[in-house]
Structure 1
Amino acid sequence: MTNVSVRYIVEDVAASIEFYVTHLGFTLEQDARPAFASVTRESLRLLLSGPGSSGARAMPDGRHPAPGGWNRILLMVNDIESEANRLRTSGLNFRNEILKGVGGSQILLEDPSGNPIELFQPAH
């Protein structure tokens, strides 16, 4: 059962589907390419809104939603070092190296449009 939905503005819906399904274990739920798709992983439903979707339309003041920024989804992992190495081997981009803190370790992966995904391993 999906408990939470998050919308990401993406530049290419097909590339985003490929990224989330192939590399992060999401399942394709709805495919309305080229405008929109939704993918799920456990209780997360991620809405991928391309340039032709209603979620990417301009605001009344003329601003346009754009990918990127710093708000992000967080995916729990069991072994952050091996997961980061696996994704690097696939040629994926990270914003930083693994950061270790009192609560655990994290690293920021970017999707094909530059949206961040935080991989997080809790401290033991």
Structure 2
Amino acid sequence: MSAEHPARAAGLASQAAVRAKDKAAWVALFAADGIVEDPVGPSGFDPEGKGHRGAEAIAAFWDLAIAKTESIEFLFEDSFACGSEVAFTGAIRSRIGGHRIDAEGVFTYKVDGTGKITALRAFWEVDRAMRTATPVD
């Protein structure tokens, strides 16, 4: 996928930072009032469903959701950029606790005029993803 669109470029940079397990680089991609909703709505990562807003909350989300994974792959089939946003479609494959889990969905990034991420929203279903859990060596 070409990164010519600012939101697509930010999304790809976010994915690269996650794959590299580089928390500082990932948090630095967000605007000061940026928000992460992953998944959108209430979940074990966000019981109130309000999202994680600002660098401190986004860093805490990393510690809760990303740092515990052994690896993360972005298996995105396509992306669609419009205005200041992009939507990636496909799956995020995580390895955690000796299991592989695929979260299929739509993953959106919105950027401001400087290319900083103002919103990362992930539309995936926890129960559906948990049904894909497969033991791995």
TM-score between both structures, scaled by the size of structure 2: 0.26
TM-score between both structures, scaled by the size of structure 1: 0.27
Q: Whose strand proportion is higher, 1 or 2?
A: 2
Q: Whose helix proportion is higher, 1 or 2?
A: 2
Q: Which has the larger radius of gyration?
A: 1
